[in-house]
A = this chain, B = another copy of it.
Amino acid sequence: MQLTRERIVGAAIELIEREGVDAVSMRRIAAELGSGAMSLYNHVPSKSALLDAVAEQVMSGIDFRSEPGASWQDQVRTQARAFRQIARAYPRCTLVVVSRHRTSAAGMRPIEHALATLHGAGFGGTSAVRIVRAFVAYIVGSLLREVGVSPSLADPQEQGGGEGERAGADGRLPPDEFPQVLSLSAELAAKDPDADFEFGLDLLVQAIGALLPAGRPSGH
């Protein structure tokens, strides 16, 4: 079968989802496609560029449209949830998406939609850009946590064994230093990514709604 950029990127995505990013090598992907490692370089300039392409491909698989008839609040929510689908559809590619992504067309599409929605809601350009940035930061951070790589906030009991610092020799946190964390260990252990995401999303939607009547420092 013909070797194409598309097939190469597809094989990379598949491999990442199956075995993780660390398993990706040019040789490995080539083998997956039944060709020599060097053949890939006819379609992709480097491994780094290949991973960029993976990020772009994953992003472009997401549908960021929202119902034009809906309120801007609902549109914003719909767009944010679409973004979050990345973590469901490509959990192990998520870190790649989030950490490479420069400014591709696929990466700008969600921004375009969000800006249009906010424009329709009456926000000026400067405000709209700031708002989108805040949303993207929140969503990206949420993705990372959902996918299991972001800092803390996991079950304090399932502690690895950090070694560093003066954590108890058994890996437990010293109780006198972490009263809150330990007394809330049940809440911290509870996993409900949907509820967590919606909670923060509500906070942001509500807060930017409060910005509207007065409008912020100009914009248009």
Contacts and interface: CB of A to CB of B under 8 A. Distances in A.
B126 A165 contact: no
Contacts of A140: 137, 140-141, 144-145, 150-151
Given A130-B199, A207-B206, A159 B103 contact: yes
A12 interface: no
Tell me the interface secondary structure of chain A in the complex: helix
The residue among A136, A152, A156 with the most chain B CB atoms within 10 A of its own CB is A152
A139 interface: yes
A16 interface: no
A101 B158 contact: no
Given A125-B183, A138-B138, A156 B103 contact: yes
Contact of A99 (B95, B106, B156, B163): B95
Contacts of A87: none
Contacts of A57: 164
The 4 closest A-B pairs by CB, nearest first: A137-B141, A134-B200, A141-B141, A115-B180
